[in-house]
Amino acid sequence: MLGIARTGIQVTLASVARGNGLRQLCSGGSGSYKNILVEKKGDKSQVGFVRLNRPKALNSLCDDLLRELNVAFREFDADPSVKAIVLTGSSKAFAAGADIKEMQPKTYSTVFGTNFINDWTEMLRIRKPIIAAVNGYALGGGCELAMMCDIIYAGDSAKFAQPEIRLGTIPGAGGTQRLPRAVGKSKAMEMCLTGDMITAKEAESAGLVSKVVPADKLEAAALDLAERISRMSLMAIYAAKESVNAAYEAPLSQGLLLERRLFHASFGTRDRSEGMSAFTEKRAAEFKDE
């Protein structure tokens, strides 16, 4: 989960953060949040849009930012008008990792006693799909944060890495577990043992990223995807996300059973009836999320 401070990658980013360093107090921004910007987007305002907003720190993930992110996700999850969420950063960095200066003084008794970074997993309980729109650097915790999302779109200049090994530790928020599931054991092992970065195209070829687009088109592409998802029945969206995620947790036989039961359950919804009726009548379906 760690980021870039005091690693070889820090040298690479030095020019990006020139004059600012990689540390920014958890402050700034606007509205009720200090470290993120939150709004609704799309033609019908059905897309929750969250931007990490610690530009001087290249969006390094301090505790306050993660707490705010969890609150924003919960609010969008509870909002019946929102059907999908986009998470992004800046053109320079999606998130350059966890806040190393915040983490450096911690001891084993502190991190174990407080179950440090457990809050990171809260977003996994969000039922609506989260799309990560990654431009620039997604390193350490930034890469892990992207992998906690349901879909990753990347700008063509994006770079991904798990550089924790260079700090004498290992990923702690899913880097050794989600990365092998996305790119396979060999590639994940290489990334975790060297800390080397991979490009957006390499990430797409390996299966980490769903789509690569020009950097200046990234947010529009992610928003377009979120809007297309938002046209579907929310009941079906919930079921599809739950079923796909189960493929990573359950044996095939249990996953297939869950899929079948959720498929059966859809026959109890009005939207399933509307969708099939619209198909047979050759018209556009009008889903009511019922």
Write the pLDDT tens digit of every residue in 236-278.
Answer: 999 999 999 999 889 999 999 999 999 999 999 999 999 999 9
Task: Considering the chain, tell me which residue range(s) the CATH 1.10.12.10 domain(s) occupy.
Answer: 234-281
pLDDT digits (tens, 9 = 90+) for 116-170: 888 888 899 999 999 999 999 999 999 999 999 999 999 999 999 999 999 999 9
Residues recognised as catalytic: 98, 141, 144, 164
The CATH code of the domain at 234-281 is: 1.10.12.10
Closest to 51 (Cα-Cα) out of 123, 135, 126, 160: 135
Q: Which CATH number fits domain 36-231: 1.10.569.10, 3.90.226.10, 3.40.50.300, 3.30.428.10?
A: 3.90.226.10
In percent, how much of the chain has pLDDT > 70? 89
Output the pLDDT for position 24.
40
Structure tokens at 189: 């092992």
| Exposure of 142 in the CB half-sphere (CA atoms within 13 A) | 33
Which residue intervals of the chain are DSSP H helices? 8-13, 63-78, 100-103, 108-113, 141-148, 178-183, 185-194, 200-206, 218-230, 234-246, 252-266, 270-280
**Per-residue confidence (pLDDT) for residue 145, from 0 to 100:** 97
Q: What is the mean pLDDT of the chain?
A: 89
Q: How far does CA 110 lie from the centroid of its chain?
A: 27
Q: What global pTM score does this model have?
A: 0.88
Structural contact between residues 85 and 226, judged by C-beta atoms closer than 8 angstroms: yes
Answer left, alpha or beta for residue 30, where phi above 0 means left and psi between -120 and 50 means alpha: beta
Residues of each domain in the chain carrying CATH 3.90.226.10: 36-231
